[in-house]
Structure 1
Amino acid sequence: MRLSLVSWNVNSVRLRLPQIEQFLRDADVDILCMQEIKCQEHEFPREAFEALGYSHIHIAGQKGWHGVALVSKIPFETLPAPAFCRRGEARAQGIRIDGVDIWNFYIPAGGDFPDREGNDKFDHKLTFYERLIEDLERRGPDKPLLICGDLNIAPGEFDVWSHRQMLRVVSHTPIEIETFGKLMQAGEFHDPFRVTYPDPQKIFTWWSYRAADFRKSNRGLRLDHILLNPGLMAKVRGDITAKIHDTVREWERPSDHAPIQTIFDI
């Protein structure tokens, strides 16, 4: 089976629907995992995706905020939502395809300053990670798993526009970098993007709306990830294609995140 999977923080599925439709018409996508859909299940534009051939749909929505959704051309089994968000927000969902579990996450951003005691949003973020890491340690690496989504940490020196300056900014602080390292270790994850774009090449998936020309300023972060564990890697045949569709960020009124894609055979 060939899997072409895209992860994309769309920043409102209804507002970005024309762009999402255009992207799906242009790109080769079997499964689209979306974050920050900002709607409830009954408000999700299901018919638009079905018209494009994505008849298998799983939605974890919330009124006005957060939310994740997954649309697929391939039938899947719905899994119970991973219980990593201590606030019970719509930030996680899971499916299973041909023995492979796929988890789609919108992990909290963490607020404005990296202090667990003084900033509950930051504590919420790290608690999500800690629960996820504990689950991975119990699960073990042999059961095939793909994690994708807006994980809201840029973990490496070359995943941010300025390592030195960003060490003081939530998303790339030392405790977040350490936490992401624990995640990678607990799942023994493979990062196909750092194989395709090895260090010291800088790669970003997010650019602030504050810059009138995001390419000129290029003050980006790699907040979006697709990770494969050893159980899944054992099933992969041949190479894994990894691509960041940053040209989508050039479209009119885009999301601040670009779609990221992996393609592989299992």
Structure 2
Amino acid sequence: MKVCTFNVNSIKARKDLVVQWIKHRNNDIDILCFQEIKTQENNFPSDDFKELGFIYQEILGQKGYNGVATLSKLPLENVFSGLNHDYFDNQKRVLITKTSDIFIINTYAPHGDLRGGEKYYYKLDWYKHFIYFLKQNFDLNNQKVILLGDLNVALEDKDVYDPILLKDTIGTMPEERELLKEIMNLGFIDTFRYLYPDKIQFTWWDYIGGAIWKNEGMRIDYILITKSLIPFLKDVEVDLWPRKRKTPKPSDHAPVIATFEGL
């Protein structure tokens, strides 16, 4: 089973590229989780992905902003949308589905802002409520759970291309990192870092200045798993093919794919 997270930065703008990419990979992905689809459910290009075998689709859309979608070739059950909180659920950021006995938490965390701004506090408060929600709704010591998506935090200095230049900026502030570490401490493993403890690999690069070609990026997209899934984890990769296209214009993120065997 291959599970993918991909911040597409508008599914309308990126649909053709994503379809090309899936075909380029010989259509080997089983569960495809998008963030920042930036469209409502009725405008999502469902048929294009059904033609590729993703017949099970759960979509949590929002016009022009945010939005997540989970597409699957495997039977998929919609468990929950949002965080059961009116204020935070105005922004469509979390979609929880289930295939067999595996929960999939498709997540688009807030980007935030420089310290002290309104979006800065919103991000911290959102993370705190997300942690509370996870504690209340999951038995992370026993259940099989995959939490994936754009978490908008680079967990360690080696997850950014220049830790001195980017110190204490959006995504590297200590208070942001501590909240992501709190999520990890609930019982999650960072699959990429588990398999590749010292590898330098990014998942996001700014559009400006040819950052992708200089590999001036950040690792802010994750596939986290509970410990019960570790025996089945075989590989994690960041696929640069769709990020390095010139046409159609790519997302500023690259997809991350985890491979599981024996589930």
Report if TM-score (shorter chain) is over 0.5: yes
Contact 2:82 2:92 in 1 (8 A): no
Q: Which of 216, 220, 229 lines up with 1:219 in the alignment?
A: 216
- For the residue of structure 2 that corresponds to 1:14, the secondary structure is helix
> Counterpart of 1:194?
193
Aligned residues, how many? Answer: 254
2: CA distance, partners of 1:58 / 1:202: 33
How far apart, in 2, do the equivalents of 1:247 and 1:257 lie? 11
Q: Paired residue for 1:257?
A: 253
Equivalent position of 2:82 in the other structure: 82
Number of the residue aligned with 2:240 = 246
Alignment of 1:170-209 (within 5 A): 170-186=170-186, 188-199=187-198, 201-209=199-207
CA distance in 1, matches of 2:31, 2:130: 23
CA contact (8 A) 1:204 1:221 kept: yes
Amino acid at match of 1:79: V
Q: Counterpart of 2:134?
A: 136
Which SS does the other structure have where 2:243 is aligned?
A: helix
Residue 54 to residue 206, structure 1, CA distance change in 2 (3 Å): same
Q: Which amino acid aligns with 1:228?
A: I
- Distance between the aligned counterparts of 2:89 and 2:115, measured in 1? 19
CA distance in 2, matches of 1:175, 1:203: 23
Give me the whole-angstrom Cα distance separating, in 2, the residues matched to 1:206 and 1:20: 16
Residue 209 of structure 2 aligns to a residue in which SS? coil
The offset of 1:195, in angstroms, is 2.8
- The question of whether the paired residues in 2 share the 8 Å contact of 1:6 and 1:260 is answered with yes
Maintained 8 Å contact 2:82/2:93: no
3-state SS of paired residue (1:15): helix
1:97-116 correspondence to structure 2 within 5 Å: 97-111=99-113, 113-115=114-116
Q: Which residues of structure 1 form unaligned runs of 5+? A: none
The answer to whether the 8 Å contact 2:11/2:44 transfers is yes
From 2, 8, 14, the equivalent of 1:4 is: 2
Q: Distance in 1 between matches of 2:228 and 2:103?
A: 10
User: What is the rounded CA distance, in whole Å, between the counterparts of 1:193 and 1:15 in structure 2?
Assistant: 28
Residues 86 and 127 in structure 1, CA contact (< 8 A), matched pair in contact too: no
Is the 1:197–1:203 Cα contact (8 Å) retained in structure 2?
A: no
Q: Which moved more, 1:177-186 or 1:190-199?
A: 190-199
1:87 positional shift = 5.0
Q: Matches of 1:50 and 1:246 in 2, distance apart?
A: 24
| TM-fit CA distance, 1:168 | 2.1
1:111-135 deviation line (CA, Å, top 9, x unaligned): 2x122xxx12111111221112123
TM-score (norm 1): 0.91
Q: Which amino acid aligns with 1:26?
A: H
Aligned partners of 1:166 and 1:173 also within 8 Å: no
Taking the aligned partners of 2:118 and 2:211, their CA distance within structure 1 comes to 33
* Local SS of the residue matching 1:163: coil
Contact 2:154–2:160 (CA under 8 A) maintained in structure 1: yes
> Unaligned 5+ residue runs, structure 2?
none
| Distance verdict in 2 for CA 1:229–1:82, change over 3 Å | farther
2:97 aligns with 95
- AA aligned opposite 2:219: R
Q: Does the 8 Å contact 1:36/1:106 carry over to 2? A: yes
Q: Deviations over 1:197-239 (max 9, x none)?
A: 222x3210000001225222x2200010000012433xx43x4
Identity rate, percent: 33
Residues in 2 aligned to 1:52 and 1:220: alpha-carbon distance in whole angstroms: 31
Cα pair 2:205 2:211 within 8 Å, conserved: no
What is the TM-score of this pair, normalised by structure 2? 0.92
Secondary structure in 1 matching 2:235? strand
* RMSD between superposed Cα atoms in Å: 1.5
Name the residue aligned to 1:59: 59
CA–CA separation in structure 2 for the residues paired with 1:97 and 1:213: 37
SS at 1:170 equivalent: coil
Q: Is the 8 A contact 1:205 1:257 kept in 2?
A: yes
Q: Does 1:154 align with 2:127?
A: no
- Secondary structure at 2:164 match in 1: helix
